[in-house]
Homo-oligomer: A and B are copies of this chain.
Amino acid sequence: MPEIRQDVVTGRWVVVATERAMRPSDFGSTRVSAAPEPHQCPFCPGRELMTPLELYAVRPADCEPNTPGWQVRVVPNKFPAFKTGELEQPSESMFSRRAADGSHEVIIHTPDHTACLATMPVGDVELVLRVYRQRYRANRDDPHVRYAHIVVNHEKEAGASIEHTHSQLFGVPLVPPLVQQELAGASWHHTSRGKCVFCRIMEAELEVGRRVIVENDSFVAIAPFASCLPFEMWIIPREHQPSFDMIEGEQFGDFAQILHDTLGRYRERFDSPPYNYYIHSAPTDGSDYPYYHWHLELIPKLTWPGAFEMGTSMMINVTTPEHAAEFLRDSHSVG
């Protein structure tokens, strides 16, 4: 069973995912473990039984679960970081641990092993985003899940262990520290300024324009003023919506369009770089967060943080967001 341990000095929680445990010999000198070859890929059609049984899929009505024919497929992670169950060992004297209750799902974007979100048709990206909402809602209704975290790790250098394009949804049994920080800041801002901080950021950025990369009817993509990493982007819905599960109607197509467009800009400008993205949304713990505003944060993997960042929790960014936005605006990519 995966467990969550608490650092006795800082109080920070760390997931120790024993089911993912690697033997020391798995950490080779190549440093990045090899992904399965396409002819062994467990996410390809025809190998549905290499994954745990599917939780959900977009497939024709006459097509059996766990067989080929699907367009998007959702399965439990085979080596979950979160899984509801009993802890094997109790805490030791001053050292606290708890069960890493929750869920960990994999959303396989397409049956095509060679595709990715930047190259798939926008309509297929939209289908993936609709599955996000379906799984988000299913996890929201799980009493163990207090935060539903949807992420993409694209390519090995960005943390992917399987090449075939996919997202992950982590059903986390606590509100993560970074989300708590955003909630606290958004709440303070709403109380003291009378307005959502993300709505204000969007207004200010659209007025100045220097850090805006692209926009459409429902979304704006900016390089945030205090970007932590080079070429970081935030994609923010124009409408004030605290939680991702409030997305609906034409927002889906517009979200797919701007995500496809921005990933295409990375692809063109950096020769298909590895990248990460994740959605920040209100917790799913039953409370109301009217002051929060969901958004997607997107970062190409171009630099390696070092011991400064590890030891301080402060980032050093070597590219100004103004420069990043200008460079990405100049892309020829059309979403």
Contacts and interface: CB of A to CB of B under 8 A. Distances in A.
Given A15-B317, A177-B312, A320-B21, A306 B151 contact: yes
> Helix, strand, loop or mixed for chain A's interface?
mixed
Given A81-B308, A160-B306, A168-B308, A17 B149 contact: no
Nearest to A3: B320
Given A8-B226, A277-B307, 13 more contacts: A5-B225, A5-B226, A9-B198, A9-B201, A11-B185, A14-B314, A14-B315, A94-B200, A149-B311, A158-B307, A159-B305, A159-B308, A176-B312
Given A31-B301, A149-B308, A306-B159, A227 B317 contact: no
Contacts of A277: 307
A78 interface: no
Contact of A159 (B189, B200, B226, B304): B304
Contact of A8 (B9, B18, B185): B185
A329 interface: no
A334 interface: no
B16 A320 contact: yes
Interface in A273-319: 273-274, 276-280, 297, 299-308, 310-319
A22 B316 CA distance: 13
A14 B181 contact: no
A55 interface: no
Interface in A68-110: 81, 92-95
A60 interface: no
Interface string A1-25: 0000111111111111110111010
B94 A204 contact: yes
A242 interface: no
A276 B310 contact: yes
Interface in A136-157: 149, 151-153, 156-157
Contacts of A302: 27, 31
